[in-house]
Structure 1
């Protein structure tokens, strides 16, 4: 297959998944409504915690509300339903058809994740007025725009790899709802979506800053608001790159074994 044919096949599959996502309008509305509510509630919570104080432990209220608002958007970008989609395909036997396609099964999942990102991009635009109104979104720290965009891209890629690892368990067991919910809760905590990592005890913060989940939310937002500047920002991006290589390699190994575990149900 030529390079053009390779690209066209993957774009065709990605476009098909975009149309599939938009077919479920309720899910799309929930994806938009959930982070909007998270922004409103988190901003109200931290304003109540700060009370009459403008700064707590050296962190201004405006910085904190900007953090939690951006964290909600970063979590929206990073999260996708690859696991649900794969479970359904394995359970009803359609995975056999997927494996026979000219586009590899793992590539199909990546195309699906790209499709969801394309769907969520306009959602982010719609959410920005809510963020500005609720939290008074501050401007990025000086020199932070480039590193922030790079960090966001790397965080999304790390998140995709982590999701693919969780989804691969579907090849060994058909019941993943409990594990998926547990992963959703833990990833929200470990990534700094719910609470910034800098409020954690020092020993816990150091550990969490070296785990892959912080790459998805905490690192890009910390760069945006200026918590990570200069060499510290690039060090954090280096950690993201390291985890992308490690988790990406693990995904390839696991999926290579997983496809040999398929038992088609029905279909």
Structure 2
């Protein structure tokens, strides 16, 4: 069965490779986006040395690594699942000798590997050449960041699968998918670092899984989080990964016993 899942990863990677030209333009779009954020934050900082626990140099790095990290963990599995549910093709998955949810995770991983090597890495190099990004020189920090980035992918993919599976019960979950995407981008710290939020909202966000997607790995990468606290934050990511397995498989098990018919 492992070989079958590895084949799913390979096939997804090759499928993405066929459309790689689209991602070259994506690198430029992300670069423009990051550049815009840089000049906005540069104006906001002005003469201030630090805001929200981040210097301007750290903020520049935070923005760059957050958006390029998003290029790795982003996927549209929620829309794929919802589409398969609406057109009925998901029924075929019930009789196949593999776990549908795991297959979707593997498809997302294949896409993520493609994005890592052909989007995130060249994009980060381009940003490093254009903007004053401060890359860490400690190899162990790079290793920890990559582990945390992988957890970012897992947690984001779990949220996508959960959102997609709601199509079994809502039939049209377009609004839910849009709400989820906005929530992830905003509350994960992608648009605004969580340290910039008011105190009460930061306390609320600490109880949600979103910070584990962007803020925690990016804060570690920039040096805002250091020492033993790094492993504590890594533990938070691992905790959310295991917690989200419960609703994901609960929804899938309930979905397998639900029948609804559309059309005449």
Q: Normalising by structure 1, what TM-score?
A: 0.88
**Separation in 2, partners of 1:262, 1:34:** 42
> Cα 1:217–1:95, aligned 2, differ >3 Å: closer, same or farther?
same
Residue of structure 1 equivalent to 2:213:
216
Q: CA offset at residue 209 of structure 1?
A: 2.7
Secondary structure class of the residue paired with 2:96: coil
User: Could you tell me whether the CA contact under 8 Å between 1:39 and 1:134 is conserved in 2?
Assistant: no
Unaligned stretches of 5+ residues in structure 2: none
User: Could you tell me whether the CA contact under 8 Å between 1:14 and 1:111 is conserved in 2?
Assistant: yes
Residue of structure 1 equivalent to 2:9:
14
The superposition leaves residues 94-131 of structure 1 with CA deviations (integer Å, 9 ceiling, x where unpaired) of: 21222222222112211111111122112112101222
Of 73, 84, 93, the match for 1:78: 73
The superposition leaves residues 158-200 of structure 1 with CA deviations (integer Å, 9 ceiling, x where unpaired) of: 1111111111111113322221111111111110000011111
Segments of 4+ moved more than 6 angstroms: none
Unaligned stretches of 5+ residues in structure 1: 1-5
Q: CA offset at residue 236 of structure 1?
A: 1.1
Secondary structure class of the residue paired with 2:102: helix
The superposition leaves residues 58-102 of structure 1 with CA deviations (integer Å, 9 ceiling, x where unpaired) of: 532111111011110122222210011112212222212222222
**Separation in 2, partners of 1:263, 1:18:** 33
Secondary structure class of the residue paired with 2:37: helix
What pairs up with 1:118-133 in 2 under 5 angstroms? 118-122=113-117, 123-133=119-129
Secondary structure class of the residue paired with 1:45: helix
Residue of structure 2 equivalent to 1:87:
82
The superposition leaves residues 24-57 of structure 1 with CA deviations (integer Å, 9 ceiling, x where unpaired) of: 5676456544433321221121112123545446
> Cα 1:94–1:27, aligned 2, differ >3 Å: closer, same or farther?
farther
What is the RMSD of the two structures over their aligned residues, measured on CA atoms? 2.3
> Cα 1:262–1:76, aligned 2, differ >3 Å: closer, same or farther?
farther
Q: Normalising by structure 2, what TM-score?
A: 0.89
